[in-house]
Structure 1
Amino acid sequence: MSETQLPLAEDWSLPERLDPTARLAAEALIVDVEGFEGPLDLLLTLSRTQKVDLRRISVLQLAEQYLGFVNRAAKLRIELAADYLVMAAWLAFLKSRLLLPPEPGEEGPSAEELAAHLAFQLERLQAMREAAARLMARDQKGRDFFVRGQPETMSLHRKVTWDASLLDLMRAYARIRTREDFRPFVLDREHVFTMEQALDRMRGLIGYAGDWADLSTFLPEGWNATPMARRSVTAAHFAAVLEMAKRGQLVLRQDETFAPIRIRRAESRSEGQS
């Protein structure tokens, strides 16, 4: 295989000036091993897709040809030699994994799994390159087409067209009617008179009730301002006097059905004995 021989540069501080054709020829690594001949990146691609039998490729010949290329490419671009080194190292690693039997208990993916994974990554890279090529092949503004000097003002008008059957209309009407008829009851706790409040009031007022007195005289002012307040205050004080009568703190009586409820303070034992 003939290879392009490049003259050595006398001054390593200055890059050697080469015409584009000579530079491309120098940067193209050509390998010639048993079973395959071509650029190393193509060899890597074919090895990933398993189109080339790696068991037939001599790693020694590959390394010798690579070292010769590195000597030529050192004067051109050091990153180019680094890229080819990574590719050659991966190829040698993959061949060693294929030739050597797997050790018992060895962790990590097998050679076949590694090759399949790298082939998948290469397919993704190829798809991205193709998508980028298609994108760059499209017409570009300022090169293939140009915008108008006085662009027109565009306005968007939205027109809604409803498509509903008679059954859909009936269902929608039923949902609206159900939502209007159903009103959950919400208790206004700020205007509710509790039994605890009534007990506190009755304990302070019952001491002044020496004789029978109507229960309504113990209710607070404005207790009948609204129907809700009247019911709440009456029920709370009625429950309070029942609780106090149970504890023996007062006596209550009602002469007949629906008659006013009258209460008085219960007599203590000392008062009864006197």
Structure 2
Amino acid sequence: MGEKGGPFVVALDGFEGPLDLLLDLARKDRIDLKRLSVLRLAEQYLAYLETAASLRLEVAADYLVMAAWLAYLKSELLLPKAGHGAPDPEALADDLALRLQRLDAARWGADWLKARPRLAEARFPRGMPDGLGRERAGDPAPDLPALLDLYPRLMTRRRRTDLRLVPRAHMTLEAALERLARLATPFAWRELRAFLPPGLETGLPERAALAASFVAGLELARRGAVEIEQAAAFAPLRLRSIPTGEGP
């Protein structure tokens, strides 16, 4: 009869195994249906339904259809043959097997769709749609000779372009140190920007010159030629020259 929640296993005279295997053997005439008791099959099916409380309804219905077809096949063996218009039991069994295969495929597809991410649950659309319409002018007419003629012209139209990087002249540390040393005549407190060369472009050239001048000022302060101060964080840096003899 099978374990609780497992497949429906029947135990009849001359056979013990899954019900679908019994149906397949009966369809191929590999088992004697006359020895099988339909009454015991029905009793075992009812007992299986009582033990398998969590069994899905569609699975139980499949087992019921299989058992009904077994009973029908056995009745075809016991009852006298009908007229020529009676259905062929083997053809009916083949049709049942095909229907069961289609049912399994449909269930697999349904389970696959349920596992997919759902809109507004696992994935969410944009709150404001783009509002872009679609316009289709129609399929282009196939013209292979014109396509073969156009392709080489498109390939030869491409021209090779070389990337050239124009280097920019930035103030180096040596140039900034030389400029500050040259301007380090006795002077009072002055901002660091006052020592930048005139006519600098804004942006990277100005920032590079300011950084080089700052490092040059630190070097001159280390030598004792200038003094640097900053009133507060992010305040402008100021420098003043130290007369000879006052340095450390």
- Shorter-chain TM-score above 0.5: no
Normalising by structure 1, what TM-score? 0.37
**TM-score scaled by length of structure 2:** 0.40
